[in-house]
Amino acid sequence: MPPDCPHWAYGDDIGVLPRIFEDDITLAVMERTLPEALRDSVAAQLPPAARLDWHWRGAPGEAMRADLRRHLPAPDRAAALLDDIGTIASALAFLFDTETIGIRLRRLDEAMCPRFHVDNLPVRLVTTYAGPGSEWLPEHAVNRAGLGAPRADKPEIVTDPGAIGRLGAGDLALLKGDGWIGNEGRGLVHRSPQPAPGETRLLLALDPG
C-alpha cells in the first residue's frame, strides 16, 4: 500500500507509529524484517503440537519477561523473542503514557477472527512473528452495514476483494478501533487470515492502558 493514502501510514521507522494520533489515520504500520536471530528464536517456540497462549497485564518489565519465559516451549532459546517483546511493550507504554499494557502471545493453527470486524477498544498493536499477517480493508472497500453478527439479510462487508491489505511478518501495526474518542464508526476493519494447511502463526497483540 502507498504511504500517502487517506487513512493509513506506512514507514520503515518507528516515527510512523505516532501518526495514529492524527484524526484521519486508523492504521499506522512500521514495516520491518525480522533478523535471523529473532526468526530462529520464534521457530524454536513452535514445535509440532506445542500450545502457546500467554497473557499478561501490567508493567512491561522484568516480571513480565520472567512470566513469559516460564510459558515458552523453549525458554533456553527465547532471548531474542523476549528482548523484542520487551522492547515493543516498553515503546507502546511510552507512546501512550501508561504503566499498564495488556499483552497476548498466541500460537494459531487456524484463523482466530476469520470474519472482518472492528475492535471496540481504542487502539491495539499487533505483530505476526510467524505465518501470514493480519488482513485489513481500506475504507473504500468496506460496506459497514455488513459488520457485526452475521445474518442472512446482511450485505457483504468487502466491496472490493482486490483491495484487501495484509501486514507482513514482523510489521508493527497500530489499529485504531471504534473506542478511540472521535473515531466512533470509523475503526479499522480487519481480520485474522486463514493459515495454509500445516502453517502456524505466532501473533502478538498489545493493548495500552
Q: Identify the CATH number of the domain in which residue 73 sits.
A: 2.60.120
Any domain includes 71:
yes
CB atoms within 10 A of CB 17: 20
Any domain includes 146:
yes
Rounded to whole angstroms, how far apart are CA atoms 203 and 113?
A: 12
Any domain includes 147:
yes
What is the predicted pLDDT for the residue at 6? Answer: 81
Any domain includes 197:
yes
pTM assigned to the model: 0.92
Rounded to whole angstroms, how far apart are CA atoms 105 and 67?
A: 12
Give the count of domains, the chain.
1
Q: Which are the contacts of 163, defined by CB distance < 8 A and separation ≥ 6?
A: 137, 138, 140, 141
What is the predicted pLDDT for the residue at 115? Answer: 87
Any domain includes 111:
yes
Per-run averaged pLDDT (10 residues), the chain, 209 residues: 71 96 96 97 94 96 97 97 98 97 92 81 98 94 89 90 95 98 96 85 96
Domain that holds residue 147: 8-208
**The three cell numbers locating residue 113:** 477472527
**The three cell numbers locating residue 131:** 505465518
Any domain includes 2:
no
- Residue 13 is given by DSSP the state S
Strands annotated E in the chain:
8-11, 27-30, 53-58, 101-108, 123-130, 135-137, 165-166, 172-176, 189-191, 201-208
Any domain includes 3:
no
